[in-house]
């Protein structure tokens, strides 16, 4: 609404043909705002046909270290719409993890503005609007798998029956039904990471932040989990922000690829990537796929030569 777009569009205007899903998301967002304030809702929806899940404007973050200042992020701007799958790719130290941590309010930017789900990052965290998956599963070793899944639910005060229901549902979603009573060390690394994804989903946040979740896994497990993650995204319609080192992984999963470069951490390219939602691993052999991968690679290389 702050973008000053004309309030020309009306939802019930027969002349306006909006795509069906946009129309639906419009309705959803007006309900969220409360129907008594339809004018505002209308402006918002005309400003961007889809609501923004994450809106980053001119964000910079400087660390003070013993060796002096390090620019982890430098004037980064990025808009991510609801339901997108966005990958962040770049060499180590390019600030992609910092970017995710800033969005999660685990770190505070030195300057710039940041909105998550239309609210400040801190408020989004306090209202538990996102789930975070780290490089390592970070399961609590003294809790069974089921109890690990219930942990965020316990903290958020869900009822016992609801906890049980959700633990079962999300374990099933990551194909781990039957492992409820096992302890984390009894599961393989890939299974543990699936549990941590289920845990992040268990309280049904609209936004999923994933920081190299499959980085420590071997190629075969990773491929398998990539396919599962894609199905999960398709089924749940969540917005996913995904940090990775791997070009094929980024191209295969994403609707949008953000290429970043280090020192100072900044965005050098944003690539749209619209393969059908029910894609399989085979698309990795197609010319379209290779073309996008090539563009990512060129972007990464450009970032590096700039640096040296």
Partner 1 sequence: MTNSALALSASGGGTLRQHPLFVRYAPIATIVLALIVIWYIAAVLMNLSLVRDGFEREETPYTVSELIEGTMSAERPLLPAPHQVISAFVDSVFGYAPTAPRSLVYHSAVTLSATLLGFLLGALLGIGLALMIVHSRVLEKSLLPWIICSQMVPILALAPIFVVVLGAIGLQGLLPKSIISAYLCFFPITIGMVKGFTAPDPMQLDLMRTWSATPRQVLSKLRWPSAVPFLFASLKVAITISLIGAIVAELPTGAEAGIGARLLAGSYYGQTIQIWAALLAAAVLASGLIGLVDLTERGVARQMGTRS
Question: Which residues contribute to the site for partner 1 (CB under 8 A)?
Answer: 104, 106, 125-128, 130-132, 134-136, 138, 140-144, 151-152, 154-156, 183, 185, 203
Closer to partner 1 by Cβ: residue 152 or 303: 152
Q: Give least dist CB 271 to partner 1, A.
A: 28
Secondary-structure breakdown of the chain: helix, strand, coil percentages, each rounded to the nearest 5: 45, 20, 35
Phi-psi region of 217 (alpha: psi -120 to 50; beta: other; left: phi over 0): beta
| Rounded Cα gap, residues 306 and 308, in angstroms | 6
Residue 28 or 156 having the CB closest to partner 1: 156
List the structure tokens of 193: 């990471």
Minimum CB–partner distance for residue 80 and partner 1 (Å): 18
- Residue 9: burial class (beta carbons within 10 Å; 0-12, 13-18, 19+): middle
When the beta carbons of 140 and 306 are compared against partner 1, the nearer one is 140
Kindly tell me which of 127 and 219 has the beta carbon lying closer to partner 1: 127
CB 99, min distance to partner 1, A: 15
Smallest separation, CB 157 to partner 1 (Å): 10
Distance set, CA 183 to CA 140, 145, 197, 240, 291 (Å): 9, 6, 16, 28, 44
**Least distance in angstroms from the C-beta of 242 to partner 1:** 16
Residue among 39 and 156 whose Cβ is closer to partner 1 = 156
- Rounded distance between C-alpha atoms, residue 253 and residue 225, angstroms: 11
């Amino acid at each position: 609404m702050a973008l000053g777009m004309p309030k020309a569009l009306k939802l019930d205007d027969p002349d306006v043909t909006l795509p069906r899903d946009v129309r639906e998301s419009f309705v959803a967002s007006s309900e969220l705002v409360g129907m008594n304030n339809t004018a505002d809702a209308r402006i918002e929806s005309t400003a961007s046909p889809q609501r923004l899940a994450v809106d980053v404007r001119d964000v910079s973050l400087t660390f003070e270290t013993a060796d002096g200042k390090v620019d982890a992020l430098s004037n980064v701007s990025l808009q991510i719409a609801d339901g997108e799958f966005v990958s962040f790719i770049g060499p180590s130290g390019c600030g992609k993890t910092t970017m995710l941590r800033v969005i999660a309010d685990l770190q505070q930017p030195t300057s710039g503005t940041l909105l998550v789900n239309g609210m400040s990052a801190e408020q989004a965290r306090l209202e538990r609007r996102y789930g975070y998956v780290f490089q390592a599963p970070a399961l609590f070793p003294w809790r069974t798998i089921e109890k690990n899944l219930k942990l965020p639910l316990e903290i958020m005060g869900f009822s016992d029956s609801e906890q049980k229901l959700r633990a079962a549902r999300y374990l099933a979603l990551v194909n781990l039904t039957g492992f409820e009573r096992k302890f984390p060390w009894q599961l393989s690394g890939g299974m543990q990471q699936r549990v941590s994804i289920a845990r992040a989903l268990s309280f049904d946040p609209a936004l999923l932040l994933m920081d190299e979740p499959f980085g420590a896994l071997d190629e075969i497990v990773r491929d398998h989990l990539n396919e599962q993650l894609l199905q999960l995204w398709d089924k749940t319609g969540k917005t996913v922000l995904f940090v990775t080192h791997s070009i094929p992984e980024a191209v295969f999963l994403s609707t949008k690829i953000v290429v970043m470069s280090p020192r100072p951490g900044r965005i050098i390219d944003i690539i749209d990537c619209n393969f059908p939602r029910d894609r399989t691993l085979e698309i990795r052999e197609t010319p379209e796929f290779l073309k996008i991968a090539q563009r990512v690679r060129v972007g990464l290389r450009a970032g590096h030569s700039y640096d040296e």
